[in-house]
Structure 1
C-alpha cells in the first residue's frame, strides 16, 4: 500500500469573496503539492466561508458555488487532491412550518476532489444549535457515514461537530475507515485548544485510529477561529500541531498503519497570551476585511483604553492608529501624563482636545429646559457624549473606525454611556471581564513595556466627577466579576449566588443592573468573542421582561 501524504491547511479566508477563496485555495494546494501532498484538507464551508448566515439563502448562491468548485477541480487536476467544505442543495422538505416558511434546503458538505472531479461528498450529520451555532436554520442533516477509497486507503470524512458525536464517529469506523479526516470551522474561546487536544487524543487512542483535524483561522465579525489544526496517531500521540492564530499547512504521512509528520508540534500557548493574541487577530481582521484605513480611540489614561491601544497597535501598526486625550475639569494630571507617555512609547498619532468649552455650551443650551437644579449623571454623561461626538467627527473626516474601550464587566452592569463611550464601530474588550483587563495588561508588558505601570496599579475611575472611583458605584471588580460569572455563565439564581457566600445586597444590585442594561448592550459595538458565554451570540434574553427585576 503506498504512503498517503495528507496536508492540513489553515489559510487566511475572506467570507463571501469567492474569487479570493478559490485563488488562495489553489495557491496553497499547489504549494503543498510541491512538498509532496497527495491530499490537502481545507476547512468546513470554505466556500463561501463560515458562518455565512443568511447569505446561504441567496438565490445566486449555488450557481456561484458550483462555478467555484468547477474552477478548483479544473485548476488542480493533475496537481493534487483536496478536501473542502461547501453547501449543496438538499431535497425539498416534505412539510413546511405552520406559517408556510420552508426549512432550509441545503446540506453542509465536504467533498474530496481529485483529477478534475468530485470523488465523494459527506453531508454533515450533527448540526449544532448551541453557543454561536445556528446550523438548523440553514441545513438539513445528512444520514450516512462516508468512507472513500483514495490511493488504496479508506478515508473517513467528517465535518466539525460530527467528530464529537460518538455514534457518528463509530458509524464511520464501522463503514471501514482506516483514518479520520475532519474539516472544521471551530471558533475560539479561552482554553478551547486544551479541550480539543484532550478529546482528540483520547478519541484516537480509544478507537485505535489516526485522527486528522483541520480548522479555520482568522477573525470573522465577532468570531475568532484559532486554527489549531492537529494530527494524532492510533496511539493518541500528537504528531503535528499548528500554532494558534497563525496560517499554516501541516504535512502528515500515513502508511496504512502509522501516521507521522516532519512538522513540529506547536508549544502550548501562554495562559494570557492566547487571549491577547485572539484580541489582536479579531481586531486586525475586522478592520482589514472591512476595508478601514485605520482606527482612532479615546485614550483616557485608564487601563481599558490603554489595553485597547496596545491591541490596536499590535494588530495594525502604529501608523494606522490615532489616540485622542479629551480632558475635562476632573481629568487628573496623572491621567494626562500617562496617556501621553503610552502614546509616545507606541508611536501613535496623539492629540489632546479639551472638552470644557463644548460641554459648557451644551449646558448653556440645556439650561432653559433643565433649570438650575443639580444635574448629577446628566452632567457626567454630557462629558462622555461630547467625547463621542469628537471621536465620530474625526472618524468621519479621516475614515478611521472608532474603537470603543468598555470592558465586559461594565457592559454587563450598564456602567457605560450610550452615544458616549459606547459610540464607535468595534469594541476590543467587549468580552473581556475587568479582572482579565488587568491580567492582559500585565501580560502585554512582558512583551515590551507599553502600558505605564501606574495605569495598572491605580484605582479605576471614569473621572467624570471629583475624586470619583468605580467602586463608588460598583462592588470591587473581583467580587463583581465573580457574581457576573455565576449569574451569566453558570446561570445561577440570586439565592444560589448568595448561598455561595456573596453579600445579599451586592447580588441583588448586580443582577438588577445586568437586567436593566440589556437595551444598552443591544446598541453596543461588536467585539471579539473570547469566552464561552459572550454577549454577542451566547446570551439571548428579552429586553422587556420582569423575571427578576426586583
Structure 2
C-alpha cells in the first residue's frame, strides 16, 4: 500500500486556502499512484480554532470544505481532520474528528478520545470525547485511526483512564494512522519519537504519524511527521518547519520499503525532561521556530514590514537578526533612540549591526523628548530625587516614538523582551514591553546568548562587543542589569525550576539555591503577573511559556 503524508501549513479559518492545498496534495498523490493520503489534525479549518468552533457558520464551512474535498477522493483514500457535529444528543455539540473519504463518500468518521486541557490545550471546552471505536476497512487492510493525544497515554502514569488503541486492538488492525497537531518546544522532537516508538512496541504495528506545520500566533507546529515500521525502526522523517508531501510504501508484512533512518535501538525510549536549563539544547530548532513564528504571524495577518528599537544590547540584536532573516532585511526598520545615559559604544554597536544585516535604520535622540517630559512633570515631581519614574519615562518615550512610526508607515512593532526579564518584571509597561509580537519572550537570557552564537556560526553578524559586554538598560548612569537582578547564570536556572519544572520554594532551596535568592526571585515572578497579563503574544519554544499555556492569578498571594 502506497501511503502519502501531507505535512501542510494551514491558516485558521481560511477555508479556501486550506481546501486548495489539500486538494492539490490529493491530486499529486493520485498522479503518483497513491492508495491513501493522510493529513494533519483539524486540517480543513486549522488548529487551534478555539472559540471559532462555537459559530455554527464556521462548522458549516468546515463541512462544505470536507464535501468539496471528498469529490477528489475517488480512487484514493483520504484522511482529513475537522470538527464534526455530535448527533447523539448527549455531551458537547462537537467532536474533534478525522473524516475518511473514499469513492467520493464519507466512509467513516473517527472521533478523538483524549482531549487535552493542559498547557496551551483546552479541547474539552469544545469537544466531546469519542464513545465509539472502530477500525476502518480499506483495500484489504484494517486501519486504526487516532488523533494526536490519543497516542500519548502510555507509560507508568497515564493521564487518562482510556486508551483508544487498546480498544481498537480487539479488532486486529494492520496499521496505525495518527493525525496530529502537536506544538513545538525544544524537547519535543525527542518526545514524539519516544511516544511513537512506545506505541509501536506495545501494539506491534507500523505507525504513520502526520503532524501540522506552521505558526498560529504564539503556537508553532514543527511538522517532523514520522513513519515507523512494526519493529519500531524509524523509516521516514519529514522536515521540520516546512511543508512536505512524501510517499511511503507499506509492505504486507508491516515493513516499510526502503532503508531505515534510525534503528529502534537508537530511537529515544523516553521523553526528554532536562533537570536544569540547557541553553544550547536544540538551539538551531529554537532559531527555526522563531523564524517561522515571525514569518507566519506577518504572512497570515497580511503584514510585511517590522520595526523595533535597536539599543545595541543582546536582546534587540538577536531579535533584529532573526526578523531580517524571516522578513528580508529591507523590510525591518531599526530605530536607535539614545538618551542622556546611553553609551557611545551601544549606539556604535547598533549601527554596525544594521550595517552587517543591511537593514534600514534611523537615529532619533530622545534627550529633548525626555527633558520635555521632565519639564511638564516638574510642578508635580518638584525636588524629589531621581527614581524609577524618570528611568521609565525614557522607556515610554521610546515606545511612543516606535508606535508613532509604526502607525505612520504600517509597521508591526516587534518586542525584544526576554523570558528572564518578563519573569521578574524587569521591563516598563507601555515602554519596552510594547509590541505586536514577542520574539524572545520564551527564551531565557542564557538562551538569547546561545542564539547570538548560533547566528554568528558562519560569520560575525552580531558584533562581538554586543555579546561580551555587561547587559544594561542604560536608563541611569553606569546601570547594569545585575544592579536589579541576580546574575543570569543563577537567575535563569532558578526560574527554570519554578516555571518549567513547577517546583515550590522549599524544593528549589533543597537543590542548593540560596534561600534568600529563591524568596526574592519568586516574589518578583508572582508580583509581576499583572505586567505579563498585558503583554503581547509570545512565540512559544519551551515546554512552559508565558501566555495561554500558563495561567496563574494576578492577585494570588502564593509566594508573594
Structure 2 length as normaliser, TM-score?
0.93
1:54 maps to 51
2:99 maps to 111
1:2-59 deviations in whole A, cap 9, x for unaligned?
A: xx11111111211100011111111122122222221111111112110000000002
Q: Secondary structure at the match of 1:531?
A: coil
1:80 maps to 76
1:307 maps to 318
Which of 529, 535, 551 aligns to 1:518? It is 529
1:218 maps to 214
Equivalent-residue separation in structure 1 for 2:147 and 2:117 (angstroms): 15
Which of 141, 161, 171 aligns to 1:153? It is 141
1:100 maps to none
Confirm or deny that 1:251 pairs with 2:247. Answer: yes
Which of 192, 206, 231 aligns to 1:235? It is 231
Which of 359, 375, 389 aligns to 1:378? It is 389
Equivalent-residue separation in structure 1 for 2:395 and 2:261 (angstroms): 48
Maintained 8 Å contact 1:410/1:416 = yes
Equivalent-residue separation in structure 1 for 2:288 and 2:206 (angstroms): 30
Equivalent-residue separation in structure 1 for 2:351 and 2:473 (angstroms): 18
Which of 13, 20, 23 aligns to 1:23? It is 20
Which of 395, 407, 430 aligns to 1:419? It is 430
Maintained 8 Å contact 2:146/2:177 = yes
Q: Secondary structure at the match of 2:375?
A: helix
Maintained 8 Å contact 1:122/1:157 = yes
Equivalent-residue separation in structure 1 for 2:112 and 2:307 (angstroms): 42
2:285 maps to 274
Deviates most, 210-219 or 20-29 = 20-29
1:278-299 deviations in whole A, cap 9, x for unaligned?
A: 1111111011111112100001
**Structure 2: unaligned runs, 5 residues or longer:** 155-162, 268-279
2:65 maps to 68
Equivalent-residue separation in structure 1 for 2:194 and 2:73 (angstroms): 37
Confirm or deny that 1:509 pairs with 2:520. Answer: yes
Alpha-carbon distance, 1:310 to partner: 1.0
Equivalent-residue separation in structure 2 for 1:443 and 1:109 (angstroms): 40
Maintained 8 Å contact 2:251/2:257 = no
Maintained 8 Å contact 1:338/1:452 = yes
1:213-235 deviations in whole A, cap 9, x for unaligned?
A: 00000000100001010000001
Equivalent-residue separation in structure 2 for 1:118 and 1:93 (angstroms): 21
1:235-283 deviations in whole A, cap 9, x for unaligned?
A: 1011100121111112111122133255995999982101111111111
Equivalent-residue separation in structure 2 for 1:534 and 1:261 (angstroms): 40
Alpha-carbon distance, 1:201 to partner: 2.0
Equivalent-residue separation in structure 1 for 2:127 and 2:541 (angstroms): 26
Confirm or deny that 1:544 pairs with 2:541. Answer: no
Maintained 8 Å contact 2:10/2:45 = no
Alpha-carbon distance, 1:205 to partner: 2.7
Equivalent-residue separation in structure 2 for 1:250 and 1:476 (angstroms): 48
Confirm or deny that 1:181 pairs with 2:177. Answer: yes
1:131 maps to 119
Question: CA 1:441 to 1:149, structure 2 compared with 1: closer, same or farther past 3 Å?
Answer: same
Which of 539, 552, 555 aligns to 1:528? It is 539
Which of 155, 171, 195 aligns to 1:199? It is 195
Question: CA 1:87 to 1:309, structure 2 compared with 1: closer, same or farther past 3 Å?
Answer: same
Equivalent-residue separation in structure 1 for 2:2 and 2:132 (angstroms): 26
Confirm or deny that 1:140 pairs with 2:137. Answer: no
Alpha-carbon distance, 1:491 to partner: 2.2
Equivalent-residue separation in structure 2 for 1:146 and 1:259 (angstroms): 24
Which of 2, 9, 25 aligns to 1:5? It is 2
State how 1:321-360 maps to structure 2 within 5 Å.
Answer: 321-360=332-371
Q: Secondary structure at the match of 1:403?
A: strand
Deviates most, 442-451 or 188-197 = 442-451
Aligned residue pairs, count: 537
1:303-340 deviations in whole A, cap 9, x for unaligned?
A: 00001011101111112111111001111111111111
Deviates most, 397-406 or 504-513 = 504-513
Maintained 8 Å contact 2:185/2:543 = yes
User: CA-atom RMSD, angstroms?
Assistant: 1.8
Confirm or deny that 1:164 pairs with 2:152. Answer: yes
**Structure 1: unaligned runs, 5 residues or longer:** 95-102
User: What stretches of structure 1 move > 4 A for 4+ residues in a row?
Assistant: 261-270
Maintained 8 Å contact 1:153/1:256 = no
Q: Secondary structure at the match of 1:359?
A: helix
Q: Secondary structure at the match of 1:51?
A: coil
Equivalent-residue separation in structure 1 for 2:433 and 2:496 (angstroms): 22
Maintained 8 Å contact 1:300/1:336 = yes
Maintained 8 Å contact 2:121/2:549 = no
Equivalent-residue separation in structure 1 for 2:152 and 2:282 (angstroms): 25
Confirm or deny that 1:498 pairs with 2:494. Answer: no
